[in-house]
C-alpha cells in the first residue's frame, strides 16, 4: 500500500488550509503539511516530496483582478531559489501521478492556470473561467450535489449524492462558447452537478444552483481524472455535527468522502 503525503498550500488570503489538512488526515493521509507559497518560492519545500496537492478555499489576493487571477500568474511565472520555475515543479508533480484537488478559490486557480478542464490533454491552456454569481451576491448556503458516474474522476468514485456548503461570490463556470461546453460534457469532465433536492436532477433553479453555472456544474475534472476542482467545500463537512440538521438525526455522507476517495486511489496505486 502506497504512502500518501498531502501538501496544502496557503498564503495570500487562503483561509481554509487548516480544515483541508485536518480532513486529509482524517481520511488516511500519512502526512498533511500546510505550507506557504513563499516556502516553495524560497526552495524550502519541494512538490516532489508529496503526491496529493490541495489548493484550499479563501480569497487569494483579495480576489483583485478576478478570483485567483493574480495567484495563477504567480504560479506560472515565479521561480524558486535555484532559478527553476515553480510551474515546472507542478508539471512534474502531475506527470509523476500526483493528485490535485482545488476547492472554491482553489478551483478558480485551477481554471485560470489551465489545469481544468484540459480538454484533449491541453494542460496549462486556459479555456474556462469562473464568474460572478447570477445572484450578484456572495452565496453562503448548503446545496445538494450528484456525481457523474461516467466521469473519470477518482475523487467521485463510489459516490452518488452529497450535501455540502458553498461560500463564494464567483462560482459560475463560463465557457468560451457552446461548443466548448458540449465538448467538456461529451468527454465526461463534468464531475459534480447541483441538483434539485426533490427530483435529484441537475438544476438551474436558484438557490439550489447558487451561482447559475450552466448544466448545474459544481465541479470539473480533467481527462486523467486525477484533478478535481469544485466550488462546494468538502473539508467543511468533516464530522456529523457540521451538518445544519445534525440535531434532527441527519445522516448524509460526510463531504470528506471525496477526499477519502482520492487518498484511497493513491494508496491502492
Q: Which residues does the annotation mark as catalytic?
A: 104, 233, 235
Give me 155's grid cell: 475523487
163: phi then psi, degrees, rounded to nearest 5: -125, 115
* 8 Å CB contact between 107 and 131: no
Tell me if 47 sits within 8 A of 93, measured CB to CB. yes
d(CA 67, CA 58): 10
Angle at the Cα of 88 from the Cα atoms of 28 and 264, rounded to 5 degrees: 15
On the 0-12 / 13-18 / 19+ scale of CB atoms within 10 A, 60 is: buried
Asked if 77 and 85 touch (Cβ cutoff 8 Å), the reply is yes
As a whole number of angstroms, the distance between CA 111 and CA 148 comes to 19
Q: Give the length of the chain.
A: 269
221 pairs with which residues across the strands? 228
- The DSSP line for 156-184 is GTT--EEEEEEEES--EEEESSHHHHHHH
Amino acid at each position: 500500500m502506497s504512502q500518501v503525503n498531502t501538501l496544502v498550500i496557503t498564503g495570500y488570503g487562503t483561509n481554509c488550509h487548516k480544515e483541508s489538512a485536518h480532513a486529509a488526515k482524517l481520511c488516511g493521509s500519512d502526512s498533511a503539511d500546510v505550507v506557504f507559497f513563499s516556502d516553495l518560492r524560497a526552495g524550502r519545500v519541494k512538490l516532489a516530496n508529496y503526491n496529493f496537492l490541495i489548493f484550499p478555499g479563501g480569497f487569494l489576493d483579495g480576489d483583485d483582478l478576478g478570483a485567483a487571477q493574480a495567484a495563477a500568474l504567480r504560479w506560472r511565472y515565479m521561480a524558486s531559489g535555484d532559478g527553476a520555475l515553480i510551474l515546472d515543479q507542478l508539471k512534474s508533480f502531475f506527470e509523476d501521478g500526483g493528485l490535485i484537488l482545488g476547492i472554491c478559490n482553489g478551483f478558480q486557480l485551477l481554471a485560470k492556470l489551465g489545469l481544468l478542464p484540459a480538454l484533449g490533454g491541453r494542460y496549462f491552456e486556459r479555456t474556462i473561467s469562473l464568474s460572478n454569481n447570477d445572484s450578484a451576491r456572495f452565496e453562503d448556503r448548503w446545496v445538494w450535489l450528484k456525481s457523474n458516474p461516467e466521469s473519470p474522476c477518482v475523487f467521485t468514485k463510489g459516490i452518488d449524492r452529497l450535501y455540502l456548503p458553498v461560500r463564494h461570490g464567483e462560482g459560475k463556470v463560463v465557457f468560451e462558447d457552446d461548443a466548448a461546453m458540449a465538448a467538456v460534457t461529451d468527454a465526461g469532465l463534468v464531475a459534480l452537478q447541483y441538483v434539485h433536492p426533490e427530483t435529484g436532477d441537475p438544476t438551474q433553479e436558484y438557490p439550489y444552483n447558487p451561482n447559475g453555472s450552466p448544466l448545474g456544474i459544481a465541479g470539473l475534472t480533467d481527462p486523467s481524472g486525477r484533478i478535481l476542482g469544485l466550488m462546494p467545500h468538502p473539508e467543511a463537512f468533516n464530522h456529523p455535527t457540521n451538518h445544519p440538521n445534525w440535531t434532527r438525526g441527519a445522516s448524509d455522507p460526510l463531504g470528506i468522502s471525496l477526499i477519502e476517495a482520492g487518498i484511497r486511489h493513491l494508496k491502492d496505486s
